[in-house]
């Protein structure tokens, strides 16, 4: 994922584009005619997510206090622990990453940072030695499985070096996490959330490639938003990834 420097900050951007009539997330390219259902997130008085009643946010607040105060994020993190394929990303978010610190995660009106970021699905921000992930507040009511898949992807990006290999790996991981989690909760597949629209398209590409990165890799390599990326970056040097 590419960084944009602004003062002391390095900004990682993910935005939605139109690809094969479905919404994809893609670095550095603004949206093009995406129907995102114009969903409004329901919020409590203090602006936090309204969580599923069976999830007790208070019970997990101590465990995740260094990462988030948001119950929806806590739900997603808990789901990531239930499948082996998401364990690396979970551990990275908890602090086993290049910064050696937990990643700060929250929902946010990203347009307040910069108006052109309004349609971004998430925004990664590195300040000094701490990584931040801001998830677009329009996704507050997305199924926790979709948020978990998104975070599995985001946890891969830990430095300023981006590459086609890294993006291919991150998108394939996201698709695999979504597939595994929705095997346990198939109802999430039918959510009208725009984040689910994106996850379902990645899942289709993953399945079409017989559960390999074949078609996701094609989508990454032909994506105009990635045209200036090198093939390799640290940790993703394998040409045949």
Domain limits, the chain: 3-226
Q: Tell me what pLDDT residue 44 has.
A: 28
Tell me the per-residue pLDDT of 23-64, one tens digit each, with 9 for 90 and over: 223 333 222 222 222 222 222 223 344 445 578 899 999 999
Count other Cβ atoms within 10 Å, centred on residue 66. Answer: 12
Q: What is the secondary structure of the chain as a DSSP string?
A: --EEEETTEEEEEEEEEEETTEEEEETT----S---TT----B-TTS-B---TT--HHHHTTTTTTT-S-HHHHHHHHHHTTSGGGHHHHHHHHT-STTSSPPEEEEE-GGGT-GGGTT-SEEEEEETTEEEEEEEGGGTTS-HHHHHHHHHHHTT--SS---HHHHHHHHHHHHHHHHHHHHH-GGGGG---HHHHHHHHHHHHHHHTTSSSHHHHHHHHT-GGGTT--S--TT---TT-
Dist CA 121 CA 138 (whole Å): 8
Are the beta carbons of 197 and 19 closer than 8 angstroms? no
Are the beta carbons of 71 and 43 closer than 8 angstroms? no
108 phi and psi, to 5 degrees? Answer: -160, 150
pLDDT along the chain (241 residues), means of 10: 34 32 27 23 33 78 96 97 97 96 96 88 86 94 97 92 93 97 96 96 97 96 88 82 50
Q: What pTM was estimated for this model as a whole?
A: 0.78
Q: Tell me what pLDDT residue 53 has.
A: 54
Q: pLDDT > 90: what percent of the chain?
A: 60
Are the beta carbons of 109 and 137 closer than 8 angstroms? yes
Q: Tell me what pLDDT residue 240 has.
A: 58
- Side-chain-facing half-sphere of 53: CA atoms under 13 Å: 0
Dist CA 194 CA 198 (whole Å): 6
């Amino acid at each position: 994922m590419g960084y944009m420097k602004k003062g002391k900050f390095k900004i990682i951007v993910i935005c939605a584009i139109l690809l094969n009539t479905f919404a994809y997330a893609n670095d550095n390219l603004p949206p093009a005619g995406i129907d995102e259902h114009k969903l409004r997130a329901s919020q409590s008085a203090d602006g936090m997510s309204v969580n599923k009643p069976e999830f007790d946010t208070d019970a997990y607040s101590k465990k995740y206090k260094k990462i988030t105060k948001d119950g929806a994020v806590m739900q997603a993190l808990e789901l990531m622990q239930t499948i082996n394929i998401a364990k690396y990303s979970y551990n990275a978010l908890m602090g086993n990453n290049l910064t050696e610190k937990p990643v700060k995660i929250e929902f946010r009106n990203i347009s307040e940072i910069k108006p052109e970021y309004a349609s971004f699905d998430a925004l990664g921000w590195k300040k000094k030695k701490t990584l931040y992930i801001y998830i677009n507040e329009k996704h507050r009511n997305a199924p926790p499985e979709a948020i978990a898949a998104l975070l599995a992807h985001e946890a891969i990006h830990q430095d300023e070096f981006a590459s086609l290999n890294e993006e291919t790996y991150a998108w394939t991981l996201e698709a695999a996490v979504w597939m595994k989690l929705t095997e346990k909760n198939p109802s999430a597949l039918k959510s009208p959330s725009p984040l689910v629209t994106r996850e379902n398209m990645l899942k289709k590409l993953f399945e079409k490639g017989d559960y390999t990165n074949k078609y996701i890799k094609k989508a990454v390599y032909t994506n105009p938003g990635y045209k200036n990326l090198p093939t390799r970056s640290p940790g993703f040097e394998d040409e045949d990834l």
